[in-house]
Each structure stands twice: as C-alpha cells, then as structure tokens.
Amino acid sequence: MGLREQFTGWKPGLWAGWRPNGLGEQKPNHYRDIARVAWANRAHPAYAYQVLTKGACDGCALGVAGLHDWTIDGVHLCTTRLDLLELNTADAVDPLVLSDVAALGSRTGAQLRALGRLAHPMRRRRGATGFRRVSWDEALSVLAAGLRATTPDRAALYLTSRGITNETYYVAAKASRALGIANIDSAARVCHAPSTVGLRQTVGVAATTCSFQDVIEAPLVVLWGSNPANNQPVFMKYLYLARRQGCRVVVVNPFLEPGLARYWVPSNVESALFGTKMCDLHVPVRPGGDVALANAALGRLIARGAVDRAFIDAHTEGFAEVAAALAGQDTDHLLGLAGVDRPTLESFVDELVRAGGAIHVWSMGVTQHRGAAETVRGIVNLALAQGGVGRNGVGLMPIRGHSGVQGGAEMGAYATALPGGLPVDADHAAALSATWGFPVPGRPGLTAPEMVEAAGRGEIDVLWMSGGNFLDVMPDSRAVEAALGRVPLRVHQDVVVTRQMLVEGDDVVLLPVATRYEQEGGGTETTTERRIVFSPEIPRQVGEARSEWRLFADVANRVRPELRAAFSWPDNAALRREIAEVVPLYAGIETLAATGDAVQWGGRHLAAHGAFPTPSGRGRFTPLEPVEPHVPDGSFVLSTRRGKQFNSMVQGQVDPLTGAGRDAVFMDATDASALGVAPGDRVRLRSETGSLDATVTLARLPARTLQVHWPEGNVLIAAGSNHREPTSKVPDYNAVVTVEPLDSTPPD
C-alpha cells in the first residue's frame, strides 16, 4: 500500500533555491553518478539490471525490492545502492594476485575491492609471502580441525552485514551454538546495540516502533545524531513527501549536515529542480550533551503543561520519579551541558508542543557514545511524555544503516541474544536446546570489541569471520592489527579481499562466498520497519564461491557429524520453515518466495494503543543524570563522521554533500582562529591512542569540538572497557585530542 505521489501543485515555500538542480551548489550530482555506475557495470549490464529490478537492496535497512518499496508508489533508488552494484557484477580476482601480500599491503580497501571477487579458497601459513590456492576440502578441514582442537571459549565467530541474509545469520547462530561457541557477534554490535538495550528496558521491544508510512504522516520528525541524506538517501524522499503535507523537521546534531539543510530528491521533478528545505530548526547539541538536552526539553514540556497526562497515567510508569528528578535539575545548567541556548530550547519545545508528538529518529551520532543507552532512554522519555508510541505519525526509530543488522540480532547471531532476540540465559537456552536437539550455551559470549581484546591477550585460537574488517571498524587500529596477528587460525569468508585478510598469522584461510543475490534459494533481510523482505536467487557463479548458509552447515557437520540431521536442509525454503517455527516473531517468512514478498513482524505499530510488551504492560520512564564533560584546557572533543561511504567502505575521496576530502578535520572558525590555522592548513591531531594528520575544513560546530572521517579517525579512538557503553559494549567512537599546526610540528 504505497503513497500515491500525486502532483498537488508546487510548494515554493519549501524550495531551496531557484537554480535548476542546484547548479553550482555543493551537492551530489545523481544523474552523473548514474551514468558513472552504468559505465562501471558495463561488463555485465544484464546482470546488474536484474539485481536492480529483482533484488532486495543490499545497502541500508530502509529496504526495497527491485525499484519499489512498501511505502511510496514512485521509484526507490539511490547512489549508495548503485555504488554497491559493482560488488555484485565484478569478475573473479586472479588467485596469483594474492600470492604476494607485500605488493598489496599499501592498497586501500577500495583498491582491494577493485581487484574483483574472491573466487577460490586460499591459504597462507606464517612466513609465506602470500596465499596459495587450496581445495574447499582442505580449507574446511583446516577450520574443522582448528575448532575441534580448541575449546569453545577460545573460538569466536563474527558476521558483518554486507547483504548477509537472515537465513545465513540463522544457520551461523545455530552452528555456533552446536559447537558450544557462545562468542558469536555481528555488525549490529557497533551500531545500534545501545538502542536495543535502551528500548527493551523502556518500551519492551528492541526495534523501531512505527513504520515508514508514519514518517510521511508525521507532524514532526526529530533527527538525533542521524544523517539520512548520506546513509539512507531515500529517507529524504519520504521526508520530502512528508513536508509537502506539512511535516516539520528538527535536526539535533553538533553540525547541521548540508544534506539535512536542503536536498534535491532526484526522482521528483519539483525537488530535483528547486531542491527542498529539509530543516526547520537546528539544535546544535554538544557531543555527549543529548541527555541534558532531552532532560531540559522534558522539563519544559512538564512546566508548560504540555505532556499527555491521560497516556502517561494509563500506559506508563515512573513519570513521577522523572518529574521529581527534573525538578532538581536547573535548566540553565542542563543547557550549559548540552551547549544549547535558551531560545533554541524553547523553539524545540514549541515544535514538540505544536506537533503533539513526533517520530524520533536516531543513529550513530547517538549510539556510538559512552552514554548512548542513557541517551536512548532520554529520547524515550520525551516520546512517552507525549504519548508518542503506538499510533499513526509518531514513534521511535533507531534507523539502521546496514540491511542485515536487524535480522542478524533477531536470528541470534549476536553475543547477547538467541534467535527471536531473546536474552541469553539458562531458561531460554534450555528451551532452545530442546527445540534444536543439542545443548545451547546459556551465557552471553564475547562481543566484537571483546573478541579483539581477547585475541590481543592470546585467548582466541580460532577467529572465524564472515565479512567485516576489524582493522577498519574497531578502535585503535594498531592494537587490532597486533591482536589479529596473534590468533593461530583465522578464517575470513567474504566476496572481496579486505585489508584484515593480509595481516599475517600462523594460518590464515580465505573462503569465497556468494553474494546475497547469488545465494542458493534466495534469502530475506529485515528492514528498519521490521519488514522481512525476500530477495530471489539471481543465478551467477563466480569461481568456486559458495552460499554461506550451506557453508556454516557444512562446517557444523564436519565438527559434529552426529548432528547432521539438524544441519541438513534440502533447500532454504525448508530453512525458512524452520525459522518460522523457532522464531514465532518471523511467522510468515516461510511464505516468501518472490520479489516484493514481505511480512512485517509486529504490524505497523509496536506497543499499539499503549499496550507495551514490558513485564508490567507499561512503558517505563527513566530518571537520568547528565554527565559533566571533562575536556582539559587546550583540548578538543573529537567525533567521527561519515562521508561518501557505505559503512566502513569508502566510496569516494570527496564527500559530495560537504565537499570535504577524507583527510578533513571539521573545525569551527572561532577555534581555527584561536589556533592560528586557516582552511587548507595541515594539522596534527593527537589523542592518548595515536595521531592523525588532517586538513582544516571550516564548519559551524560547537566550540572545542572537531570531526574527522571514520574509519580513518580510528587511530585516535581508544579501545578497552573504559571506552565503550557499559551495557551494550558499543565502542565510544569519540576522543579528546590536541591540535598542532603541522608546519611547526616535528614528525612522529
């Protein structure tokens, strides 16, 4: 049921300007990008066309099947998806290229991807100059022998998103538990783990409570630490359609991202011609100041008598405690912590009051902080106070940037969740043991950052990774490289060559796998709005690549042949039938068989009409105490940001939205002036972990805050338990740094 994009007249009040298609503005040129991608995929245009018109997008988690989604009638396509297309049409890399690792060592991730598809099992022993081609039997025998030779607590399994399907996550989760391995984690850990924790404790669900249809019907959308213009581009089309119907938009972020100030929706004539103003109010919160801001806003809502008392009384608990806590927090002090002035706070509260509820969207700007779970609870407090859950046009939306992360956790490929997103404890493990027919570990395993640290201590014997690139993704890149090198057996299964594969170890095995589209029997993903969508098999064989759900089952069978019956699906339709039985939430997945087939678990709204699936049946307010920031004199708070990239995969050296190169450090003009540096000057940033040379780029930012691109900035980010959110274990991708003009700085 899509929103028919009827033309109902121009809305000049929303136009960004009069220049056709923003001529001369710093912005993406979508039409030129389409031509570039068409050229890049010229070797297999027919296959590329099939992927685009039949497949479910392997990019972000907005979700689209072919060129159409379940929200709007028009075309749903973006350059992120187009840029990923090349991975799906690339030809096999020559195995000889991998025989000399030293020759590859200086290549960037993008240059390694450009080599082509990993197409044959390969193996490299310590001391060898590179990889040699081996048989599948040898590669899997090495892995099985390694798993048999160690104890489960010294083995770890990690899966990225990279288009991985629910079917693959499920088999990986089952295989891992069959081998006794609790240490299984996935990409969801480093993005929305705090959202999972914060939402489950307050509203009883670990997912978006509303649907994209609600965005289009929303009176107000508040974007907290989220930049969908860059990461979920078609969301901007939803916002455009919403704004045509009167929706207002507030951006809560240190930087007003240019793509959120104004945007040109390429598939809509009016927006493509004149652009669309996308932001009504920018709230320039300091990094880490969101809890203080949420508290201040809630305090003002209460003071103005603008909370939904009927909803609060009927459907929530803890409001009185929160109100009492806020009464003891001085608004001006909170604003000082948030870095926001009083008029801006009042404007924000005006927007909330006028709308009577909002869709609160948040992303990595909220979650990749030490206080992330608290911030999520602060956002939930605001939503509950307005009765903003479980009805049309309002809701809580931790928007996802990877098409696999929602499903990965819900299939149990997660250190802290069993299939169905159930907590890992003795009771749930016992129930699952009875279902699966083998003992399931009843304790949480190592999370992804803990795996790296355990490897660094020499406590991991087998590290088995499906995609991912710890070297780029995890904090403190140098420590990660040393940790990877200490693992006696590393197995990397992937579609392309990545930098982490080149780190020498005692024994490193590469396994070539099929893409989402090549996967035998097709597969499903779960979108941000909880929609399980089917992507059919689009047959293509590259070298000896195998479907991953078969691969995980094969390894389980080799290590524990007595469990063969539990890992012997004739096809993955049978696998989907098993998922539907084991994960009742996913009922209906067994019916999906063609492009466009989808089923949304939980329906349009979770906690509909105030029925919260918490133990008490009520949504829970949480009293929150903002943390006082400590930034030593002369230092800056540095945050990491995204440019032209898909997660850690850099897709362009210049961000078309900001015009900044990858080595940019975003800095406010007042800070630049105080430091005596100007745009284009080179500076050295130093943290307790490392240093990074960068080029000054001016941006309107709160004083003494800086931003650099991620993952390049990871050299500045500290690892360890003091540098992550304590409950969800997401790394804090922020640092305290000093800045030195480079021409006066001796080289390190």
- Binding to ligand SF4 by residue 37, rule CB under 6 A? no
- Binding to ligand SF4 by residue 81, rule CB under 6 A? yes
Of 84 and 501, nearer to ligand SF4 (C-beta) is 84
CB of 237 to ligand SF4, least distance (A): 9
DSSP 8-state code for residue 475: S
Extract the tokens encoding 632. 């030593």
Segment contacting ligand SF4 by CB under 6 A, of 70-78, 180-188, 199-207, 269-277: 70-78
CB of 234 to ligand SF4, least distance (A): 4
- Binding to ligand SF4 by residue 64, rule CB under 6 A? yes
Residues whose CB falls within 8 Å of the CB of residue 243, separated by 6 or more in sequence, listed in order? 11, 14, 249, 276, 278
Of 82 and 352, nearer to ligand SF4 (C-beta) is 82
CA 577 – CA 521 distance, rounded (Å): 13
CA 6 – CA 114 distance, rounded (Å): 42
- Residue type (1 letter), 453: E
- According to CB under 6 A, which one of 60, 72, 223, 292 is a site residue for ligand SF4? 60
Segment contacting ligand SF4 by CB under 6 A, of 21-29, 76-84, 144-152, 380-388: 76-84
Judged by DSSP in three states, 526 sits in: strand
- Say if residues 214 and 388 touch (Cβ distance below 8 Å): no
CA 613 – CA 82 distance, rounded (Å): 39
Of 399 and 692, nearer to ligand SF4 (C-beta) is 399
Of 224 and 646, nearer to ligand SF4 (C-beta) is 646
Nearest to 355 by CA among 239, 252, 242, 220: 220
Of 60 and 349, nearer to ligand SF4 (C-beta) is 60
- Binding to ligand SF4 by residue 80, rule CB under 6 A? yes
Segment contacting ligand SF4 by CB under 6 A, of 62-70, 95-103, 501-509, 579-587: 62-70
CA 461 – CA 160 distance, rounded (Å): 20
Question: What pairing do the DSSP bridges indicate for beta strands 359-362 and 636-641?
Answer: unpaired
Compute CA distances 308 → 98, 302, 384, 616, whole Å: 63, 10, 8, 20
Of 238 and 348, nearer to ligand SF4 (C-beta) is 238
Of 72 and 556, nearer to ligand SF4 (C-beta) is 72
- Binding to ligand SF4 by residue 78, rule CB under 6 A? yes
DSSP 8-state code for residue 152: G
Segment contacting ligand SF4 by CB under 6 A, of 78-86, 499-507, 563-571, 631-639: 78-86
Dump the DSSP string for 243-301.
HHTT-EEEEESSS--HHHHEE--TTSHHHHHH-EE--SEEE-PPTT-HHHHHHHHHHHH
Nearest to 580 by CA among 572, 571, 590: 590
- Say if residues 383 and 625 touch (Cβ distance below 8 Å): no
- Binding to ligand SF4 by residue 62, rule CB under 6 A? yes
CB of 537 to ligand SF4, least distance (A): 19
Of 131 and 240, nearer to ligand SF4 (C-beta) is 240
- According to CB under 6 A, which one of 234, 249, 706, 716 is a site residue for ligand SF4? 234
CB of 401 to ligand SF4, least distance (A): 8
CB of 81 to ligand SF4, least distance (A): 4
Of 401 and 602, nearer to ligand SF4 (C-beta) is 401
Of 60 and 650, nearer to ligand SF4 (C-beta) is 60
CB of 251 to ligand SF4, least distance (A): 19
Of 61 and 293, nearer to ligand SF4 (C-beta) is 61
Of 263 and 470, nearer to ligand SF4 (C-beta) is 263
State which of positions 284-313 bind ligand SF4 (CB under 6 A). none
Of 655 and 725, nearer to ligand SF4 (C-beta) is 655
Of 76 and 282, nearer to ligand SF4 (C-beta) is 76
Of 80 and 267, nearer to ligand SF4 (C-beta) is 80
Residues whose CB falls within 8 Å of the CB of residue 597, separated by 6 or more in sequence, listed in order? 65, 533, 534, 591
Segment contacting ligand SF4 by CB under 6 A, of 94-102, 232-240, 436-444, 511-519: 232-240
CA 148, chain centre distance (Å): 33
Of 235 and 636, nearer to ligand SF4 (C-beta) is 235
CB of 746 to ligand SF4, least distance (A): 44
CB of 71 to ligand SF4, least distance (A): 11
- Binding to ligand SF4 by residue 63, rule CB under 6 A? yes
- Binding to ligand SF4 by residue 233, rule CB under 6 A? yes
Nearest to 515 by CA among 84, 80, 97: 84
CA 509 – CA 493 distance, rounded (Å): 8
Query: Exposed/middle/buried for 115, CB within 10 Å: 0-12, 13-18, 19+?
Result: middle
CB of 70 to ligand SF4, least distance (A): 12
- Binding to ligand SF4 by residue 232, rule CB under 6 A? yes
- Say if residues 659 and 26 touch (Cβ distance below 8 Å): yes
Dihedral angle over CA of 454, 456, 459, 463, nearest 10: 80
Query: Of how many residues is the chain composed?
Result: 748
- Binding to ligand SF4 by residue 59, rule CB under 6 A? yes
- Say if residues 547 and 519 touch (Cβ distance below 8 Å): yes
Of 529 and 548, nearer to ligand SF4 (C-beta) is 529
CB of 259 to ligand SF4, least distance (A): 13
- Say if residues 491 and 464 touch (Cβ distance below 8 Å): yes
CB of 647 to ligand SF4, least distance (A): 11
Dump the DSSP string for 352-389.
HHHHTS-EEEE-HHHHSSTTHHHHHHHHHHHHHHTT-S
CB of 407 to ligand SF4, least distance (A): 14
CB of 233 to ligand SF4, least distance (A): 5
Give the x-and-dash track for 330-369 against ligand SF4 (CB under 6 A): ----------------------------------------
Of 399 and 454, nearer to ligand SF4 (C-beta) is 399
CA 493 – CA 555 distance, rounded (Å): 13
- According to CB under 6 A, which one of 27, 30, 54, 76 is a site residue for ligand SF4? 76
- Binding to ligand SF4 by residue 595, rule CB under 6 A? no
CA 385 – CA 381 distance, rounded (Å): 6
Extract the tokens encoding 595. 């492009």
CB of 157 to ligand SF4, least distance (A): 26
- Say if residues 376 and 366 touch (Cβ distance below 8 Å): yes
448-456 helix and 477-486 helix, angle to the nearest 10 degrees: 70
Residues whose CB falls within 8 Å of the CB of residue 172, separated by 6 or more in sequence, listed in order? 157, 159, 184, 413, 466, 548, 552
Site residue total, ligand SF4 (CB under 6 A): 14
CB of 83 to ligand SF4, least distance (A): 9
CB of 655 to ligand SF4, least distance (A): 17
The contacts found for 588-592 with CB under 8 angstroms, 24 or more apart, are: 588/532, 589/166, 589/524, 589/532, 592/524, 592/532, 592/533, 592/534
- According to CB under 6 A, which one of 52, 65, 77, 650 is a site residue for ligand SF4? 77
CB of 58 to ligand SF4, least distance (A): 8
CB of 65 to ligand SF4, least distance (A): 10
Nearest residue relative to ligand SF4 (C-beta): 59
- Say if residues 186 and 414 touch (Cβ distance below 8 Å): yes
Strand blocks (E) in 85-131 = 122-125
Residues of this chain that interact with ligand SF4 (CB under 6 A) are 57, 59-60, 62-64, 76-78, 80-81, 232-234
